[in-house]
Amino acid sequence: MTHTAAERSAGQPSDPRASAEPTPRASAEPTPPARVELEFRPAGLRVRVPPGVTLFDAASWNGIAIDSTCGGHGTCKKCKIRIADGTVPVSPLDARAFSPDELRSGWRLACRALAGTDAKIEVPPLVTRPKAATVGVGRQVILRPAAQKRYLELAEPSLADQQTDIERVLAALDDLELRVDLAVLRSLGARLRSADFRVTAVIVDDVLIDVQAGDTTDRLFGIAFDLGTTTVVATLLDLRTGTPLAVESMLNKQQPFGADVISRISAVMLKPAALDEMSRLAHETLAELAGEVCARAGASPADIAEVAVAGNATMTHLALGIDPEPLGVAPFIMAARQLPEVLAADLGVPAHPRARAFPFPAFGAYVGGDITAGLLASGMNRDARTRLFIDVGTNCEIVLGNRDWLLATAAPAGPAFEGAAIRCGMRAAPGAIESVSANPSQHGAHQLSSGPYGQGGPRMPGNSDGQGNSDGQGNSDGQGNSDGQGNSDGRGNSDGRGNSDGLSLRVIGDCEPTGLCGSGLVDAVATLLAAGLLDRSGRLVSDDVAAQVAPALAPRLAMLGHERVFVLHWLGEPGDVAASIYLTQRDIRELQFAKAAIATGWRVLLAEAALAESDVQQVLLAGSFGSYLSPASAIAIGLVPSLPAVRIVSAGNVAGEGAKMALLSVRERAAALALLEEVRYVELSDRADFNDAFVEQLQFPG
């Protein structure tokens, strides 16, 4: 009778005599190693982890960032790695994510690859500087920052004048009622005497945070942070003049925990230690950006007296180490709408040791401080016009109103706009297709909707014809192509932007396309709708219909396995769909779900206010995604009300603008706090009519 190695190791020897004599250890079934050694390339980092740990977790624990939008739960299929040396079994999900050739080359999904033996792993570089809006719509403010410096020349004490050191300083600041930090007293005596009583008082709000030797009034800075779920933007300001000195942005380092706030809240619920880790990563992100803007402007972090932070409730909670779990379960309660006094050090920002921080107050768990800052910058509470504010993202915040009333809500749009859950999706980074348009004269009788830049959708850089070209004819040679023949590679592509069939692409970085970002996704769907290749239900039409309505574009419709796709850019061998960049039927469905959630949100607010779409006088598209979204495409898919395109305005990074305003003016800061009482929040999750309204909005406009 034959026994397996597992049976023998369980005490069932194949030969009775084997139990009578000790068997040498080397001939027994090897026991699993206590630790597995992994080398991550190109970083060259070697780590030892317990067997059975996923490579995604092993990388995250040791500071190696692997792309992921689902937080390692196996739904986004973005965490691609290659096993350069070693053996990792193919998981069922790997088989669906990679081609047979890729699997043989060692490609795996890190969240499904288990560390079993020593291995060397190649990690594709993660884009840490996605394209982001760093400025936005704002207003002029009266310069009166909370932080200030006063140069003082004080009389030295004597037997006739035995006033204490702090009383002497405060007497020279008698127009202010100040509190004093204990740390100031610890060094005050020595500093006054070493500086011959010529010093500079540093004040933030009503607190004396420092007394510096000599006259340092020419150095007073603040940093305004837009703490986004995906991207964080920092702007260094000269608080004496209000001048922006430097701005930088980068990917939020919490990214391995998921692309949206729900993923990050879930991470804490599943593993409480994740709170400390995400707090540390937020601090690292803010600290790195602070260091960069200071270096660029030649400013010392020690001269930063205050920072302002505009972030959603989850990001603010995580950055401050506050448990976010109550935000993720009904009834969705924040720890506080308005936070107590916070130091910049509490956020990990390198600044003056006693520099203050102003986190913007939030309206609710899903309408946070970034929206408060955006409303402050856009001045919605000051404008007589009825305006609609939409911050498009994974959690879409929507505000409707004017100076007399304001309504707010939040819609769960999901990560499609970030390029997640999209087969060829990616963030807005070099190689991402960010704009798609088609020349209606080349693809058939269907005409594209007129946009704000003329027929053909969004205008391409350096062009005036709305076709992505500089000659007014859709081309760089005046003949329709870059090579005079329609292609330069034999696959219907020229330089990644213009094609002989009339399809034009704009690629971030002006390079070979590698994927599709959110704005490109919206444009692509709008283009297919206009060309007649996509019906109102969101279904790609049959080959016969495509040949009739858009014969030039019809060859781009293909089957990939059992799924219908539209090829945006051919790569690899001619006709190789799998190697190309394409839009799938499921991708279109993901966009439908996202746009339906947002459209339902603003329609609910309109119903609450008893208004029609036509009553909206302006739509503000906020945030990085809103900055690059084509108004014409947004109207075409029903993401925003059907209004003249000139009424749809890209507001840019209004959260960052609001943060700057709060640093530069105590009056504007007070206005931000007052907004808490001016805005009425409308909860969507408990509305009986929400699901029916959502289903109704899944279709595209007719």
pLDDT digits (tens, 9 = 90+) for 215-268: 999 999 999 999 998 889 999 999 999 999 999 999 899 988 987 898 899 999
Q: What is the pLDDT of residue 497?
A: 45
Q: Which of 241-255, 435-449, 565-579 has the lowest mean pLDDT?
A: 435-449
Residue 5 in this model has a pLDDT that exceeds 70: no
Q: What is the pLDDT of residue 473?
A: 37
**Averaged pLDDT for residues 470-488:** 38
Q: What is the pLDDT of residue 286?
A: 98
Rounded-to-integer distance, Cα 220 and Cα 481, Å: 54
Residue 133 in this model has a pLDDT that exceeds 90: no
Residue 14 in this model has a pLDDT that exceeds 80: no
DSSP code of residue 496: S
* SS3 call for 471: coil
Q: What is the pLDDT of residue 46?
A: 87
Rounded-to-integer distance, Cα 500 and Cα 522, Å: 22
Q: What is the pLDDT of residue 30?
A: 56
Domain residue spans of the chain: 36-122, 147-213, 221-359, 379-415+591-696, 422-473+487-586
Of 64, 69, 77, nearest to 113 by C-alpha is 77
Q: Residue 382 CB: number of other CB atoms within 10 A? A: 12
Q: What percentage of the chain carries pLDDT values higher than 90?
A: 61
Q: What is the pLDDT of residue 271?
A: 92
Pairing outcome for strands 450-451 and 207-213: unpaired
- How remote is the C-alpha of 690 from its chain's centroid? 27
Q: Residue 142 CB: number of other CB atoms within 10 A? A: 10
Q: What is the pLDDT of residue 674?
A: 94
Q: Which CATH number fits domain 147-213: 3.40.50.300, 3.10.20.880, 2.60.40.3500, 2.30.30.110?
A: 3.10.20.880
Q: What is the pLDDT of residue 559?
A: 93
Q: What is the pLDDT of residue 655?
A: 92
Give the pLDDT confidence of 491-500 residue by residue, as tens digits.
Answer: 444 344 456 7
Q: Which CATH number fits domain 379-415+591-696: 3.30.420, 3.30.70, 1.10.3470, 3.40.50?
A: 3.30.420
Q: Rounded to the nearest 10 degrees, what angle do helices 273-297 and 261-270 cross at? A: 130
Phi, psi of 335 (to 5 degrees): -65, -40
Residue 21 in this model has a pLDDT that exceeds 60: no
Contact 317, 364 (CB under 8 A): no
Q: What is the pLDDT of residue 466?
A: 35
pLDDT bracket for residue 440 (50, 70, 90): low
Q: What is the pLDDT of residue 441?
A: 59
Q: Which of 118-127, 163-172, 316-325, 377-386 has the lowest mean pLDDT?
A: 118-127
Q: What is the pLDDT of residue 628?
A: 83
Strands of the sheet containing 221-227, edge to edge, are: 243-251, 231-238, 221-227, 304-311, 356-359, 342-343
Strands of the sheet containing 563-569, edge to edge, are: 557-560, 563-569, 581-584
Residue 94 in this model has a pLDDT that exceeds 50: yes
Of 380, 344, 347, 374, nearest to 362 by C-alpha is 374
Pairing outcome for strands 563-569 and 557-560: antiparallel
Q: Which residue has the higher pLDDT, 677 or 16?
A: 677
The region, left, alpha or beta by phi > 0 then psi within -120 to 50, assigned to residue 274 is alpha
pLDDT bracket for residue 651 (50, 70, 90): confident
Q: Do domains 147-213 and 379-415+591-696 have the same CATH topology?
A: no
Q: What is the pLDDT of residue 463?
A: 37
Give the CA diameter of the chain.
109
Q: What is the pLDDT of residue 479?
A: 37
Phi, psi of 211 (to 5 degrees): -125, 115
**Rounded to whole angstroms, what are the CA distances from 208 to 166, 181, 202, 348, 371?**
10, 7, 6, 21, 31
Residue 285 in this model has a pLDDT that exceeds 90: yes
DSSP code of residue 483: S
**Averaged pLDDT for residues 285-306:** 97
Q: What is the pLDDT of residue 334?
A: 95
Q: What is the CATH T-level fold of the domain 36-122, as seen in this structure?
A: Ubiquitin-like (UB roll) (3.10.20)
- Exposed/middle/buried for residue 87 (C-beta within 10 Å: 0-12, 13-18, 19+): exposed
Rounded-to-integer distance, Cα 618 and Cα 621, Å: 10
Q: What is the pLDDT of residue 31?
A: 59
Q: What is the pLDDT of residue 140?
A: 80
Residue 170 in this model has a pLDDT that exceeds 50: yes
pLDDT bracket for residue 475 (50, 70, 90): very low
Which CATH code is given to the segment(s) 221-359?
3.30.420.480
pLDDT bracket for residue 292 (50, 70, 90): very high
Residue 137 in this model has a pLDDT that exceeds 70: no
**Averaged pLDDT for residues 474-497:** 39
Residue 123 in this model has a pLDDT that exceeds 70: yes
β-bridge partners, 244: 237
